[in-house]
Amino acid sequence: MPKIKLSDNTINIIKDICAEFQNKESELINVLHKTQGKLGYLPAEVQEVIARELNSSVARVYGVVTFYSFFTMIPKGEFPISICMGTACYVRGAEQVLSEFKRQLKVEVGESTSDGKFSLNCLRCVGACGLAPVVTVGEKVYGRVAPTQVKEIIAEYREMNGAESKIA
């Protein structure tokens, strides 16, 4: 994993979140949740700061981060793409849509493109089963997506600027 150097600003953001929870080790999950909300992801260096602030061990923090699938150590792309793998979407061909995204973006599930533009993930049911198969890009929902539309969807965002990576 490449090392990143956290800016003083980022370190202060993390410290403030920890302080908000009285630097209690028992608040670890809340601290991680809020930190990920602010920074987008939880790389090793962020976990080290949290461990120090909460007087916990990095191993324990890492243990919690890897236990819950909600937490991620990989930065999401500017445009996070999610394909619903719920039952309805799955039977209506979500897997083929997913393969097409993988092929076009040249990434696996859970990864981001090298330019940081897109990340690819699966999710379970967004409650729009009538539109199956469903794909979301950021907050936007696409229904009845066919593999042939994948190229179009990606193109829509290619030239757009999304949220910058929040860890400077």
Partner 1 sequence: MDVINLTIDNKPVVVKKGTTILEAAKGIGVHIPTLCYMKLEDLNIENKPGGCRICVVEVEGRRNLAPACCTEVHEGMVVNSHSIRAINARRTVMELILSDHPTDCLICAKSGNCDLQNMAHYLGIRKIHYEGEQSHYRKDTSPAIIRDVDKCIMCRRCEMMCNEVQTVGVLSAINRGFNSVVAPAFEMNLDHSVCTYCGQCVAVCPTGALTEVDETGKVVRVLSDPTKTVIVQTAPAVRAALGEEFEMEAGTLVTGKLVAALRRLGFDYVFDTDFAADLTIMEEGTELLNRLGKHLAGDKEVKLPILTSCCPAWVKFFEHQFPDMKDIPSTARSPQQMFGSIAKTYFADKLGIKREDLVVVSIMPCVAKKYECGRDEFKVNKNPDVDFALTTRELAALIKISNINFRTLPNEDFDNPLGESTGAAVIFGTTGGVIEAAVRTAYELHTKKELPRLDFDELRGMEGIRKATIDFGGIPLHIGIAHGLGNARKLLEEIQAGKSEFHAIEIMSCPGGCIGGGGQPYHHGNAEILKKRQAAIYREDSKKSIRKSHENPYIIKLYKEFLGHPMSEKAHHLLHTAYFDRTEEKG
Residue identified by tokens 């379970």 is: 124
Using the rule CB under 8 A, which residue among 11, 44, 88, 141 binds partner 1?
44
Dist. CA 47–CA 64, nearest whole Å: 10
Site for partner 1 in 52-81 (CB under 8 A): 56-63, 66-69
Cβ atoms 43, 61 nearer than 8 A: no
CB atoms within 10 A of CB 139: 6
Nearer to partner 1, 47 or 113 (CB): 47
| Count of residues that interact with partner 1, criterion CB under 8 A | 16
Piece in contact with partner 1 (CB under 8 A), picked from 50-58, 92-100, 106-114, 129-137: 50-58
Nearer to partner 1, 85 or 150 (CB): 85
- Is 5 a binder of partner 1 (CB under 8 A)? no
Cβ 56 to partner 1 shortest distance, Å: 8
The tokens for 114 are: 């090298």
Using the rule CB under 8 A, which residue among 47, 112, 113, 119 binds partner 1?
47
Cβ 42 to partner 1 shortest distance, Å: 11
Length of the chain: 168
Burial 6-45 (b: 16+ CB within 10 A, else e): beeebeebbeebbeebebeeebbeebbbbbbeebbbbbeb
Site for partner 1 in 106-125 (CB under 8 A): none
Nearer to partner 1, 1 or 160 (CB): 1
3-state class of 5 per DSSP?
A: coil
- Transcribe 85-146 into DSSP letters: -SHHHHHTTHHHHHHHHHHHHT--TT-B-TTSSEEEEEES--S-GGG-S-EEETTEEE-S--
Using the rule CB under 8 A, which residue among 1, 22, 106, 160 binds partner 1?
1
Nearer to partner 1, 69 or 161 (CB): 69
Chain residues in the site for partner 1 (CB under 8 A): 1, 44, 47-48, 56-63, 66-69
